[in-house]
């Protein structure tokens, strides 16, 4: 409908070098499809899937090969047609190793019989939720929270507002930006489907104001749609965290240990909305995603459409290979991403980017002693005292760490980035959170 200004500025946060110029003008191209794909049984928050196939089986593209083991889980599907070559533990970009299915590609791309388009006008809210569940759609901004769970608020929680997150504030990453420029109508269709599933009539598209072309693109796409506005947020990392978006765009504050639904809001990523649109209009489950391949160690930085299960090695090869000697490879962005120990790890649903840095350009310098400057407090957008959580986590006193609200950390990395002593505060806080869980 129109452009809405944000209500509040982000508290805390930092201004890292964004380095988005390497790919922000690069349209999506399709990555080469590999000879084999490795499909992990866990590509989402929650319980891992149980394999539905065995070695020697033939599978089709879009066929479900992993069954969820709980409500907070999401099925996985084959991204190619071919034969099951092996089932076992393989490299994983988040967990080091995990159970996965190795499929030998026959390059026929024979579709599973269940891949069929739906008529949106005939779908009820429950139908849409069922399609999203069966399509294996999760949060594609990196969090990988199963989308169907977000669409099922707890009893007594009334949702009145829906937000699509197009901020993409992580340095280097530009895939969401390109998606808003190249396929805004698909995003809006998915957004309308998600709003219908939630039963809400008010929605916002949140975009940082360093992406004015994306703001204009989404304004055009929503111009004739009642109830959807675009809000331009001030550019500042970590504006993209959902609790921070809610406060900046709506002026509502999610309580400590709370969820967006506690203030009547659900937030989804733009790529998640696009995946919902694809699942409805084509019937295709989530077997491909857009991501950014960038960094000083990449010969030709690109935005790519990549089949799930393609190895980092294959993706990098498609971008001209390594430029120089590898210093560090990161899955995701440099602020929240995970360092990799092998290029054999596969692209999964939550892989927003692959960054390669040359040797000698390590983005994580050696740490020095804490100087008690409290800058980590100043830049923390969640109002925490990171140095205190770090200190107790380092000593193994996780209960004391929680007294300083360790579980409220949004894992944005602002504290580590803003620390003049370069102490890995975030890593200590994550360790405490994992132990507390």
137 vs 28: CA distance, rounded Å: 21
Give yes or no: residues 149 and 9 share one domain. Answer: yes
Token representation of residue 177: 């930006």
The reply to whether 382 falls in a domain is yes
The reply to whether 235 falls in a domain is yes
Token representation of residue 320: 């001209």
Query: Which residue, 281, 316, 340, sits at the end of a domain?
Result: 281
The length of the chain in residues reads 437
Predicted pLDDT at 363: 56
Coil, strand or helix at 347: coil
Contacts of 334 (CB under 8 A, 6+ apart): 16, 170, 171, 172, 355, 363
Predicted pLDDT at 3: 82
Among 97, 112, 29, 15, smallest CA distance to 65 is for 112
Residue 1 Cα distances to 121, 188, 191, 218, 349, angstroms: 21, 12, 14, 10, 31
152 vs 216: CA distance, rounded Å: 32
The reply to whether 154 falls in a domain is yes
207 vs 164: CA distance, rounded Å: 9
The reply to whether 340 falls in a domain is no
Element (H, E) at 156: none
- Show the domain range for 425: 375-436
Compute the half-sphere exposure of residue 173: CA atoms within 13 Å on the CB side of its CA: 28
Give yes or no: residues 142 and 10 share one domain. Answer: yes
CA dihedral sign of residues 349, 355, 359, 363: negative
255 vs 407: CA distance, rounded Å: 12
pTM, rounded to two decimals = 0.94
What does the pLDDT profile of the chain (437 residues) look like in tens digits? 678 767 667 889 999 999 999 999 999 999 999 999 999 999 998 899 999 999 999 999 999 999 998 899 999 999 999 999 999 999 999 999 999 999 999 999 999 999 999 999 999 999 999 999 999 999 999 889 999 999 998 888 999 999 999 999 999 999 999 999 999 999 999 999 999 999 999 999 999 999 999 999 999 999 999 999 999 999 999 999 999 999 999 999 999 889 999 999 999 999 999 999 999 999 999 999 999 999 999 999 999 999 999 999 999 999 999 998 998 999 999 999 999 999 999 999 999 999 999 987 765 667 899 999 999 999 999 999 999 999 999 999 999 999 999 999 999 999 999 999 999 999 999 999 989 88
The reply to whether 128 falls in a domain is no
Coil, strand or helix at 193: helix
Predicted pLDDT at 361: 74
Count the neighbouring beta carbons within 10 Å of the beta carbon of residue 304: 25
Look up tokens 């935005």; give the residue.
303
The reply to whether 164 falls in a domain is yes
Predicted pLDDT at 63: 98
Where would I find the beta strands (DSSP E) of 161-246?
161-165, 203-208, 228-233
Predicted pLDDT at 7: 67
361 vs 294: CA distance, rounded Å: 14
Query: Which residue, 238, 262, 281, sits at the end of a domain?
Result: 281
Give yes or no: residues 277 and 387 share one domain. Answer: no
Q: Are strands 3-5 and 326-331 parallel, antiparallel or unpaired?
A: unpaired
Coil, strand or helix at 224: coil
86 vs 430: CA distance, rounded Å: 33
* For the chain, counts of helices (H) and of strands (E): 13, 18
Contacts of 399 (CB under 8 A, 6+ apart): none
Query: Which residue, 281, 308, 329, sits at the end of a domain?
Result: 281
* CATH number, residue 7: 3.40.50.11540
Tally of domains in the chain: 2
The reply to whether 190 falls in a domain is yes
Check whether the bond before 238 is cis (ω within 30° of 0): yes
Compute the half-sphere exposure of residue 211: CA atoms within 13 Å on the CB side of its CA: 33
Strand partners, 4: 231
Coil, strand or helix at 51: strand
The reply to whether 87 falls in a domain is no
By CB atoms closer than 10 A (0-12, 13-18, 19+), residue 95 is middle
pLDDT in tens, 54-99: 999 999 999 999 999 889 999 999 999 999 999 999 999 999 999 9
Predicted pLDDT at 364: 60
Q: Are strands 82-92 and 76-77 parallel, antiparallel or unpaired?
A: unpaired
Q: C-alpha angle 161/143/315, rounded to 5°?
A: 130
Predicted pLDDT at 118: 96
pLDDT in tens, 177-228: 999 999 999 999 999 999 999 999 999 999 999 999 999 999 999 999 999 9
């Amino acid at each position: 409908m129109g452009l809405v200004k944000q209500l509040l500025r982000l508290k805390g946060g930092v201004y890292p070098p964004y380095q988005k110029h390497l790919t922000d003008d690069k349209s999506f191209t399709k990555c080469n499809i590999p000879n084999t794909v490795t499909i992990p049984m866990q590509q989402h928050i929650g319980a891992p899937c149980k394999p539905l196939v065995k070695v020697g089986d033939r599978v089709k593209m879009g066929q479900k090969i992993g069954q969820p083991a709980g409500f907070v889980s999401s099925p996985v599907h084959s991204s190619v047609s071919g034969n099951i070559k092996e089932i076992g533990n393989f490299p994983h970009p988040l967990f080091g190793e995990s159970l996965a299915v190795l499929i030998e590609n026959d390059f026929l791309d024979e579709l599973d019989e269940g891949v069929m388009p739906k008529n949106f006008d005939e779908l009820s809210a429950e139908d849409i939720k069922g399609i999203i569940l069966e399509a294996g759609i999760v949060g594609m901004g990196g969090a990988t929270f199963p989308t169907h769970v977000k669409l099922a608020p707890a009893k007594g929680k009334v949702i009145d507002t829906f937000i699509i997150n197009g901020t993409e504030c992580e340095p280097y990453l530009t895939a969401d930006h390109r998606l808003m420029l190249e396929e805004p109508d698909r995003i809006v269709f998915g957004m309308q489907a998600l709003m219908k599933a939630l039963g809400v009539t008010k929605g916002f598209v949140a975009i940082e104001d360093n992406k004015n072309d994306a703001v204009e693109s989404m304004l055009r796409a929503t111009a004739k749609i009642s109830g959807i506005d675009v809000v331009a947020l001030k550019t500042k990392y970590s504006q993209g965290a959902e609790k921070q978006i809610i406060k900046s765009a709506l002026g509502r504050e999610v309580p400590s240990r709370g969820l967006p639904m506690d203030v009547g809001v659900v937030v989804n990523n733009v790529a998640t909305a696009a995946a919902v649109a694809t699942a409805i209009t084509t019937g295709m489950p989530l077997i491909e995603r857009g991501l950014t391949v960038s960094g000083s160690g990449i010969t030709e930085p690109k935005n790519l459409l990549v089949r799930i299960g393609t190895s980092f090695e294959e993706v990098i090869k498609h971008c001209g290979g390594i430029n120089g000697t590898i210093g560090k490879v990161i899955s995701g962005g440099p602020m929240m991403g995970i360092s990799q120990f092998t290029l054999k790890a596969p692209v999964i649903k939550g892989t927003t980017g692959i960054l390669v840095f040359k040797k000698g350009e390590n983005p994580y310098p050696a740490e020095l002693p804490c100087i008690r400057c409290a800058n980590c407090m100043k830049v923390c957008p969640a109002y925490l005292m990171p140095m205190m959580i770090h200190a107790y986590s380092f000593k193994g006193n996780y209960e004391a760490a929680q007294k300083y609200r360790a579980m409220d950390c949004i894992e944005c990395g602002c504290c580590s980035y803003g620390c003049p002593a370069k102490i890995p505060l975030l890593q200590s806080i994550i360790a405490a959170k994992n132990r507390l869980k």
